[in-house]
Amino acid sequence: HMESVGFIGLGNMGSHMARNLINAGYRVSVHDVNENAMKRFSDDGIPTRQSPLQVSESSDVVITMLPSSSHVLDVYNGQSGLLGNGGLLGPWLYIDSSTVDPQTSRKISMDMSRCNLKEKKGYAQKPMILDAPVSGGVPAAEAGTLTFMVGGLEEAYVAAKPLLLAMGKKLIYCGGAGNGSAAKICNNMAMAISMLGVSEAFALGQNLGIKASTLTDIFNCSSARCWSSDTYNPVPGVMAGVPSSRNYDGGFTSKLMAKDLDLAMASASGVGFKCPMGSEALEIYRKLCDEGCDVKDFSCAFRHYYTGKDE
Ligand code: NAD
């Protein structure tokens, strides 16, 4: 692994992903706007860079793991951004693992197609970019067991495999630029809707006199079974070890879910498509955030329906 990897965005996910690359033997340098996030790396002797452009100038491959589309556009196209330097780039491969809308991934891919390599590398004639969002959350980022959904040129995907496998265990090639991002936001929209679906049904059941635990047993061997009923049940006391059993702490926050639904709705309207369930779900998650549940796990949506009838 003699390649040098520049990693930008050392948050809850990125910090673990960068660590796993270091542990796998890659030469990693890092950048984040948050100095404290960088200090945890510089304290361990990992080189830090002051701008995306500096990262670009000192890496063979660059990975970004940023909050959302605006940050990604800023890091790629902003002042001292990755694509600065007159479009003459050192790195041959860029991987964006942030969850963004496919239109943003496609825009950056277009911008990149106008750039050239400073020095041609045997395996690449032009710099290439992949959108490679992840699922699995912070525990999977830490354990190196993320799932990557990858869009972009297939040759770039093949070349990126060893690097991605240092941070994850399952890779799915989704097709051209933006298709990884499209897959990710569709997955999360379906997850948001199914979580609301089972929550609504459990709450109705309680109001009709049937316990959520009984209803869960039935769902899980019937046609309503889904991830939200059998592995991430939203009703407190039904399952152990899930956020609902610890006051909805930890897990995937309502704020991030609202952000992902927002991306899904923005992309839908970008192609003139209507998602009535998705927009209703977005309204519900926004309301939960406004009510102070923004940092609670998104399964707290059950509370939106709960009327106080206990198990
Ligand atoms: P985070 O907010 O913890 O980390 C983002 C990091 O990016 C922060 O350290 C921030 O300082 C840095 N940053 C922001 N703007 C920057 C800029 N212009 N230049 C450099 N650094 C900048 O977010 P996270 O939880 O690590 O998530 C990252 C992405 O992964 C998001 O798109 C999120 O939706 C997605 N994701 C998160 C999870 C999860 O469970 N947390 C799961 C799957 C996917």
Closest residue by Cα to atom 25, ligand 1, is 12
Express each pLDDT in 114-170 by its tens digit: 999 998 876 788 999 999 999 998 889 999 999 999 999 999 999 999 999 999 999
Quick count: other Cβ atoms within 10 Å of Cβ 70? 12
Express each pLDDT in 172-201 by its tens digit: 999 999 999 999 999 999 999 999 999 999
Q: Checking phi first, is residue 213 left (phi over 0); if not, alpha (psi -120 to 50) or beta?
A: alpha
Q: Which of 2-6, 22-26, 281-285 has the lowest mean pLDDT?
A: 2-6
Do residues 224 and 200 touch, judged by C-beta distance below 8 A?
no
In a domain, 286, yes or no: yes
Do residues 302 and 203 touch, judged by C-beta distance below 8 A?
yes
Q: Checking phi first, is residue 120 left (phi over 0); if not, alpha (psi -120 to 50) or beta?
A: beta
- What angle, 0 to 180 degrees and rounded to 10, lies between the N-to-C axes of helices 102-113 and 254-270? 70
pLDDT at 57 over 80: yes
Do residues 220 and 229 touch, judged by C-beta distance below 8 A?
yes
The rounded distance, in Å, linking the Cα atoms of 252 and 10 is 18
Distance 235 CA to ligand 1 centre (A): 28
Residue 187 and residue 169 share a domain: no
73 lines ligand 1 (CB under 6 A): no
The rounded distance, in Å, linking the Cα atoms of 130 and 100 is 12
Residue 172 and residue 84 share a domain: yes
Q: Has the ipTM of the complex gone over 0.95?
A: yes
CATH code: domain of residue 126: 3.40.50.720
Q: Span 33-54, mean pLDDT?
A: 97
Per-residue confidence (pLDDT) for residue 308, from 0 to 100: 62
CA-closest candidate to residue 151, choices 127, 183, 104:
183
- CA atoms in the 13 A half-sphere facing the CB of 5: 28
Do residues 164 and 154 touch, judged by C-beta distance below 8 A?
no
Q: How many structural domains does the chain have?
A: 2
Per-residue confidence (pLDDT) for residue 161, from 0 to 100: 97
Active site residue 184: yes
- The residue from 122, 147, 176 where one domain ends is 176
Express each pLDDT in 189-244 by its tens digit: 999 999 999 999 999 999 999 999 999 999 999 999 999 999 999 999 999 999 99
pLDDT at 42 over 80: yes
Closest residue by Cα to atom 36, ligand 1, is 99
64 lines ligand 1 (CB under 6 A): no
Distance 64 CA to ligand 1 centre (A): 9
In a domain, 310, yes or no: no
pLDDT at 311 over 90: no
CA-closest candidate to residue 188, choices 281, 95, 272:
281
Burial readout 258-271 (b: 16 or more C-beta within 10 A, e: otherwise)? bbbbbbbbebbeee
Q: Span 261-278, mean pLDDT?
A: 97
With bands split at pLDDT 50, 70 and 90, how would you rate the model's confidence at 85?
confident
Name the residue range of residue 245's domain.
Answer: 182-305
The rounded distance, in Å, linking the Cα atoms of 180 and 176 is 8
User: Rounded to whole angstroms, what are the CA distances from 271 to 20, 72, 103, 132, 193?
Assistant: 37, 21, 10, 22, 21
In a domain, 311, yes or no: no
- The residue from 142, 176, 210 where one domain ends is 176
pLDDT at 1 over 60: no
- The residue from 176, 193, 214 where one domain ends is 176
In a domain, 156, yes or no: yes
DSSP letter (8 states) at residue 121: B
The rounded distance, in Å, linking the Cα atoms of 220 and 215 is 9
Per-residue confidence (pLDDT) for residue 251, from 0 to 100: 87
Amino acid at the residue 266: A
CA-closest candidate to residue 218, choices 194, 238, 236:
238
DSSP per residue over 30-45, as a string? EE-S-HHHHHHHHTTT
- High-pLDDT (> 70) share of the chain, %: 98
Q: Checking phi first, is residue 50 left (phi over 0); if not, alpha (psi -120 to 50) or beta?
A: alpha
Per-residue confidence (pLDDT) for residue 302, from 0 to 100: 96
CA-closest candidate to residue 185, choices 78, 259, 74, 243:
259
Residue 55 and residue 163 share a domain: yes
Pocket probe for ligand 1: among 63, 65, 145, 170, the residue whose CB has the most ligand atoms within 8 Å is 65
What are residue 146's DSSP bridge partners?
A: 168
Mean residue pLDDT of the chain comes to 95
pLDDT at 310 over 60: no
With bands split at pLDDT 50, 70 and 90, how would you rate the model's confidence at 8?
very high
137 lines ligand 1 (CB under 6 A): yes
Residue 82 and residue 44 share a domain: yes
**Rounded to 10 degrees, what is the CA torsion of 147, 152, 153, 154?**
20
